Amino acid sequence: MSSALSAGSAVVDSLPGHAGPLQAVRRMALENRLPHSLLVTGPDGAGNTAFALKLAAELTCLDLNEQGACGVCRSCVLARAGTHSDILRIAPPKEETTIGQIRELRYVATLAPNISPRRVIIIERGETLNDQAANAILKVLEDTPDRLTLMILAPSAQSVLPTIESRAIEIPLRSVDKSSLTQFLMERGEKQEQASAVAAYAGGSPGRALSLLENPQSLELLADVAQWVARVEAAAPAAALKLAEDLKELSDRAKKIIPSEDGVSDRQAVAWVLDAVMAVLQEGLAGGTQRWSPRQTASITREINLSRHLILSYAAADLQLERLLIHMLMDAS
């Protein structure tokens, strides 16, 4: 079996915002009306993968009940360890899910589950499925054997090909509000001040909040971004170019420390830092002079979003950051 098709990873704790969707799918399973294909959608950091693994553990449990997986059966033990042979994950190695992976999936789909009531196959980054892979997968969706559940993960239903969307039931995951996220982090043992700051930086994304907490360097970097915003609040227009350079330096640091499985590009690192700047502005985390009125903050946020979008598509980051800084300092003068 190729390395790209792997047994499921260890199940992690449930994230806030997941309980409702989990319960809905669990009920379908208990009432024997579980669809063959689920399209799990949610923005970056909503925890699609964590949700899928948790759900896979439930759907393979030998004694599933209203509250969830039993936690003690052989299937639950294997799912927790990440070594359950009835839970398979397909993660695209590069840009696109390969046709070879889908052929393997079609083969695996014909096999009976080893110990569980059903097999669960999780296809990550469903938005990368190309026409050819989608056609192959449709074949699986159309003659899915009874004891197979397919979960396709994607940022949104619109991001996958319509042929896939129309054949799967969508399970949307939403980002959560800041106070529920703060509460969740405090229940995990964080102090209130830290929990509240991290929740603000994470922009309602539990996955992003957890990865920030796992990585103290990224928290330090966020504190430096907040300090940078405080400097901008106090700066004269003449300082725009220097401040743009400093922001670029923060993104160079971000590039080295943002946790990512396949590395972070220069453009993604700048986008990450701009996200952090927006969080600092919106939550008033710079602790500075509050130079901008709410109207000006909204206008600056729009500009940051535009720069972020342009940088991620094609524009030269240095020029965009300079343009942005001039806007921030002129708008405020």
Stretch that binds Zn ion, among 63-71, 103-111, 141-149, 237-245 (CB under 5 A): 63-71
Residue 159 DSSP symbol: G
Paired tokens of 212 = 């920030």
Q: Which of 40, 52, 61, 164 binds Zn ion (CB under 5 A)?
A: 61
Task: Give the SS3 label for residue 172.
Answer: strand
Q: Return the closest-CA partner of residue 168 out of 36, 49, 74.
A: 36
CB 136 within 8 A of CB 102: yes
String marking each residue 189-208 x if it binds Zn ion according to CB under 5 A? --------------------
Stretch that binds Zn ion, among 65-73, 165-173, 205-213, 297-305 (CB under 5 A): 65-73
**Residue 46 interacts with Zn ion (CB under 5 A): yes or no:** no
CB 184 within 8 A of CB 191: no
Q: Tell me the backbone φ, ψ of residue 150, rounded to 5 degrees.
A: -105, 130
Q: Return the closest-CA partner of residue 93 out of 141, 51, 133, 38.
A: 133
Number of residues that bind Zn ion (CB under 5 A): 5
Q: Smallest distance, Å, CB 62 to Zn ion? A: 5
**Residue 11 interacts with Zn ion (CB under 5 A): yes or no:** no
Residue 65 DSSP symbol: B
Query: How far is Cα 90 from Cα 78, in angstroms, rounded to an integer?
Result: 18
Q: Smallest distance, Å, CB 79 to Zn ion? A: 8
Stretch that binds Zn ion, among 7-15, 55-63, 274-282, 318-326 (CB under 5 A): 55-63
Closer residue to Zn ion, CB minimum distance, 13 or 245 = 13
Closer residue to Zn ion, CB minimum distance, 14 or 215 = 14
Q: Which of 29, 34, 70, 239 binds Zn ion (CB under 5 A)?
A: 70
Closer residue to Zn ion, CB minimum distance, 73 or 157 = 73
Paired tokens of 124 = 């990550």
Q: Smallest distance, Å, CB 140 to Zn ion? A: 26
Q: Smallest distance, Å, CB 88 to Zn ion? A: 18
Q: Return the closest-CA partner of residue 172 out of 157, 192, 158.
A: 157
Give the type of residue at 238: A
Q: Name residue 148's beta-bridge partners.
A: 119
Task: Give the SS3 label for residue 53.
Answer: helix
Closer residue to Zn ion, CB minimum distance, 69 or 226 = 69
Q: Which of 69, 134, 202, 328 binds Zn ion (CB under 5 A)?
A: 69
Q: Smallest distance, Å, CB 156 to Zn ion? A: 32
CB 54 within 8 A of CB 12: yes
> Footprint of Zn ion on this chain (CB under 5 A)?
61, 69-70, 73, 76
